[in-house]
A and B are shown apart, each in its own frame.
Chain A
Amino acid sequence: MRLPSDIELGKALCLHCEKLHPVTRHTCTRCGAPVHQRIPDSIPKTWSFAIASMLFLIPANLLPMMIVNSIAGKDAGTIMEGVLYFFHHGSYGIAFVIFTASVFVPFFKVTVLIYLLLIVHFGWASRAMQGLKLFRIIHFVGKWSMLDIFVVALMVGLVQFGGLATIVTGPAALTFAFAVVMTMLATESFDSRLLFDIGRKREAAAMNKTIHEGKRDGK
């Protein structure tokens, strides 16, 4: 049996309290939140946030994340240099955590977001389920990219020894924070139901057609 979607039945779901309303209703009767059948402007919003985060990621990876001033001299390092530092000193675990959270996850998120947008744009119905699975992954890992920002913030706050040693934030910290926030906003604006809508519309149309042809043959 085919499972009908809210669009086919003319329903709209309140995303806050999950009450199902007829599509004509614009405010939820149960919790008072605005009700839309699909998140309004989901696709343009997701595109803009995804592109913005992509742009922010470039300086975030090329500029230094933090600058260590100590008696040994000045030492500025990008994210990747930090990862390599731990790798060379044998802290593979930490190197792996930082690499995953700060390099792999942000790029993975942006790539997946663009892939999802392409699925919706070109109506690749057969990839909808795969897209949803990827969407769940990026939704889950999203906030972990903030890890490096917190690490830098803590180190700057803790290492204040005047002339002996100080740590200051590098320019990459800000752009990196922006990039992470943008990917999170993009994930929030993306409506995963759009992945399935085109496929469902086609299925419904195909079914109508067979019914229609069946009737004609009967006559």
Chain B
Amino acid sequence: MELTACKQCGTVVGMPEHLSPSQYRCPYCNALLHRRGQAFTDIIIMAVTTLLLFVPLTFLPVLSLNIMGIRSSATLFEALWQLYADGYHIIAVLSILTGLLIPVLMMVLLLLILVPIRLGYRPKTVALYYRIYDHMKEWGMAEVYLISIMVAIIKLSKMATLHVGLGLFVFVFFFLTFYITTVWFNPDDIWDEDAVAE
């Protein structure tokens, strides 16, 4: 029996040595204490898929507009970069970071954490990456960006003729694989391996 404490209410809880695949919840406040994650190899494959899907996003247009014969189209980056060019540096940097770069960095960090562990390195060597990942988690907003594209489409459809670009479909898949990767990853598993190694 190993003791742990609930992050949300501070109750000290004893966890069984061999965890069953079911979820463990705090007996006092019902917060999630433990759930089983997917195998590391699966997560690595998913993270690589997400990163590969990101590549076309850098050059495929998400939307193109047509007002009286003039066309304008933009990729996910260009749309946000225009703000920077207009002098709104803070908002531009903030949206590019939260909407695109942090999700991508999270995938890179996951690979930096999981690949060495899979190759047999001690979890302590990747602990720093995990801490950075943990800090970033709150700030990745790919899903908000995705929904905002939908809202923008509805808003713009009243102003101009719209063509949805291939980039939008790729972005939907990018978000889905990103989401699956983060859900599959259970940080407890990193340290579980540690116990085996010792």
Contact = CB atoms under 8 A, between A and B. Distances in A.
Nearest to B195: A30
Interface of A: 3-7, 9, 11, 13, 15-20, 30-33, 70, 89, 91, 94, 97-98, 129, 132, 135-136, 142-144, 146-151, 153-161, 164-165, 168-169, 173-174, 177, 181, 184, 188, 192-193, 195-197, 200
18 contacts: A3-B28, A5-B12, A7-B10, A13-B7, A16-B134, A31-B191, A70-B159, A147-B147, A147-B151, A149-B94, A153-B92, A154-B148, A154-B149, A156-B82, A158-B65, A174-B90, A177-B91, A196-B28
A164 B68 contact: yes
Contacts of B74: 157-158
Nearest to A12: B5
Interface string B10-40: 1111000000000000011100000000000
Interface of B: 3-5, 7-13, 27-29, 63, 65, 67-68, 70, 72-74, 78-83, 86, 88, 90-92, 94-95, 98-99, 123-124, 127-128, 130-131, 134, 138-139, 141, 144-145, 147-149, 151-152, 154-156, 158-160, 187-188, 190-191, 194
A192 B11 CA distance: 12
Contacts of B27: 3
B29 to A, nearest CB: 6
Contacts of A32: 124, 127-128, 131
A3 B82 contact: no
